[in-house]
């Protein structure tokens, strides 16, 4: 980290992370490293500053531009992120005095960006005139929604064209709330009820998830890694939608299974649990660093059947499998509430680039499936080019060998309506409380 990131300076650390995001870094990576050096209160403040600023970046820029002689995006990275941080505290954080937000922003500007007077004047002008701020009109609804809910305009236009302005606005609103904290019970070691009781004994309130039979939503409490149930490997953090994808594959004990794009290992672990830790599960990933993350998770969960392999899912040919999970690399547009930096680092080009890779992985992995076996193709994105279109292209050339299965047969009854008449599982935009996932179960004919 830069020298701005002193251990006693939460705002300075947040500023450094925001600057790095503009250079293409992942906010999560730096948040994880940085917050370890702070107590619980300051760690939470850094998270709020970074995610809050990212979730509201377009709106903050719009407001700041009402009081700036030049668009704030035209200034240097340090200055515009100092302004965003200051404005976010002033407009969204009631517990931060305006004077503290302005003064700390000016202090940062003394050293970074070198535009102390500009920052001071702009933020004080904003404070004096906040009641007179004008916003985009309804003559261009997509642009209005993009500014008010701080999503890229190109993406908002796509969604409004597909779903209408009302549905899009509801999803954008949900996207701007922090994602619920969902965990999955490790059924090799405990039951959901036993896990819930253990959490309750440590002051954590948990409620059963609506769709997943092994999920819990944690609605109060903090410090997951300090919990005894975490250290004992009784659960793993995982959204409901991701849990349902593993249930769709329905591997059986004793089978040979491939998780083709496995890191960080959440779905691989879930598949092993469904298999009662009997058989063989290859957890394949191209990134050596991410493979180590898989190993860390399976060690804590106490799973024996997972074998980690570094390799390219578009070229891997070493074995054949009864079941294959293809959780394909994608644009990640269905998980923007968890990764708000993704709003500003992705583009239409991201979608087309991912689609080419997805088609290669699907083609290769389908060839590894035994007759009578099944695979699930899944993504955490919202766009047809990466979902329905990829499957349609595959089925167009391979329909004599493969058939789309009825995924409802493998899901809990509550989740069955998430599968359409076309056989496709979708949580976007119907269920905004879950991540936006797509999935389809395909069987190779005997």
Instruction: Please list the active-site residues.
Output: 380
Alpha-carbon distance of 342 to 337, in angstroms, equals 9
CA-to-CA separations, 279 to 13, 133, 164, 276, 306, in angstroms, rounded = 46, 62, 47, 9, 9
Per DSSP bridges, beta strands 402-404 and 321-327 are unpaired
Main-chain phi, psi angles of 249, to 5 degrees: -70, -35
Torsion of CA 77, 79, 84, 86, to 10 degrees: 150
Selection from 209, 242, 218, 174 nearest residue 433 by Cα: 174
Sign of CA dihedral 31, 34, 39, 45: negative
CA-to-CA distance for 30 and 18, rounded, in angstroms? 10
Sign of CA dihedral 177, 352, 240, 271: negative
Beta carbons within 8 Å of 16's beta carbon, 6+ residues apart: 1, 2, 4, 5, 30, 34
Alpha-carbon 347 to chain mean position: 16
Q: Residue 24 CB: number of other CB atoms within 10 A?
A: 8
Report residue 341 as tokens.
Answer: 């930096």
Angstrom CA distances, 259 to 70, 323, 443, stand at: 50, 9, 16
Half-sphere exposure of 225 (CA within 13 A, CB side): 5
């Amino acid at each position: 980290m830069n020298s701005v990131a002193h251990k006693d300076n939460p705002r300075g650390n947040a500023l450094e992370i925001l600057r790095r995001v503009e250079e293409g870094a992942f906010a999560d990576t730096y948040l994880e490293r940085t917050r370890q050096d702070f107590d619980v209160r300051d760690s939470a403040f850094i998270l709020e500053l970074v995610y809050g600023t990212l979730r509201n970046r377009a709106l903050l820029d719009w407001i700041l531009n009402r009081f700036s002689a030049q668009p704030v995006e035209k200034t240097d990275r340090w200055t515009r992120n100092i302004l965003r941080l200051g404005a976010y505290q002033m407009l969204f954080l009631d517990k931060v005095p305006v004077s503290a937000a302005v003064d700390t922003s000016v202090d940062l500007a003394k050293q970074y960006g070198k535009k102390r007077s500009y920052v001071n004047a702009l933020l004080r002008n904003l404070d004096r005139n906040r009641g007179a701020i004008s916003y985009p009109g309804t003559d261009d609804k997509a642009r209005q929604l993009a500014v008010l809910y701080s999503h890229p305009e190109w993406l908002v236009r796509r969604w409004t064209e597909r779903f209408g302005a009302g549905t899009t606005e509801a999803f954008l609103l949900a996207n701007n709330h922090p994602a619920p904290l969902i965990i999955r019970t490790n059924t090799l070691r405990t039951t959901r009820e036993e896990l819930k009781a253990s959490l309750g004994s440590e002051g954590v309130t948990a409620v059963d998830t609506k769709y997943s039979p092994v999920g819990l939503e944690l609605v109060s409490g903090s410090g997951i890694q300090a919990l005894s149930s975490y250290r004992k490997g009784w659960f793993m953090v995982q959204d409901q939608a991701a849990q349902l994808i593993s249930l769709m594959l329905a591997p059986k004990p004793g089978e040979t299974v491939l998780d083709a794009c496995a890191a960080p290992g959440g779905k691989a672990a879930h598949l092993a649990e469904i298999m009662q830790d009997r058989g063989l599960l290859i957890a394949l990933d191209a990134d050596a660093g991410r493979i180590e993350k898989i190993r860390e998770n399976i060690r804590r969960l106490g799973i024996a059947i997972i074998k980690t392999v570094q390799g390219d899912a578009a070229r891997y040919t070493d074995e054949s499998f009864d079941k294959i999970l293809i959780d394909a690399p994608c644009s990640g547009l269905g998980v923007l509430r968890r990764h708000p930096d993704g709003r500003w680092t992705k583009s239409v080009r991201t979608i087309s680039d991912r689609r080419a890779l997805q088609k290669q992985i699907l083609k290769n992995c389908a060839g590894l499936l035994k007759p009578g076996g099944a695979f699930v193709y899944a993504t955490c994105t919202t766009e047809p080019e990466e979902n329905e279109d990829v499957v349609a292209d595959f089925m167009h050339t391979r329909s004599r060998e493969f058939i789309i299965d009825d995924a409802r047969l493998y899901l809990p009854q509550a989740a069955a309506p998430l599968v359409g008449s076309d056989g496709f599982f979708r949580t976007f935009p119907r269920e905004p409380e879950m991540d936006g996932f797509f999935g389809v179960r395909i069987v190779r004919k005997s």
